[in-house]
Amino acid sequence: MKNSFKFIFALPVLILSLSSFNTSNVFSGDECEIVDIYEGITPETDAKALTSDGLKKLTMILKPAKIKSGKYSYQVKRIERDLYKVVDKELYIETKYCNKYAYRDEATLVFESNFSRPRGKIFFK
């Protein structure tokens, strides 16, 4: 009798705590939103950019890329937080809340649209 009373008391507490848990910005580490896709362009000369940190030498210019909707398999490498590069291509993927460390990891990119946000998802294998 005491055990069933404890269970009946604990069940609503468990349900309330689970219902208040927000998963909207939590990813399993294997799947992330794609914010944008860029084509990498190497400057022909010693180009510089004025940033909030001062004058900096440009090593790569990222131009928004138009990609056909669909599913693509690539190897990707993490460049920095929320930025991945497709191995052997000048294609860069900006993500949101993506903490996956990748170095030549297999991934499937699902592009949904060139105009809406998010643009799709990246699934790490």
Per-residue pLDDT, 2: 55
- 27-37 pLDDT, tens digit per residue, is 344 899 999 99
What are 6's two structure tokens? 């404890």
**pTM as predicted:** 0.71
For residues 37 and 69, the answer to whether their CB atoms sit within 8 Å is no
What are 4's two structure tokens? 């069933």
- 49-65 pLDDT, tens digit per residue, is 999 999 999 999 999 99
For residues 93 and 37, the answer to whether their CB atoms sit within 8 Å is yes
Contact residues for 35 (Cβ-Cβ < 8 A; gap 6+): 82, 94, 95, 96, 117, 118, 119
Name all contacts of 55-63 with Cβ < 8 Å and 24+ positions apart. 62/38, 62/92, 63/38, 63/39
- 73-121 pLDDT, tens digit per residue, is 999 999 999 999 999 999 999 999 998 999 999 999 999 988 888 899 9
- Sheet strands (E) in 1-125: 31-41, 48-51, 54-57, 61-64, 70-80, 83-86, 91-96, 103-111, 120-124
State which H helix or E strand residue 116 sits in: none
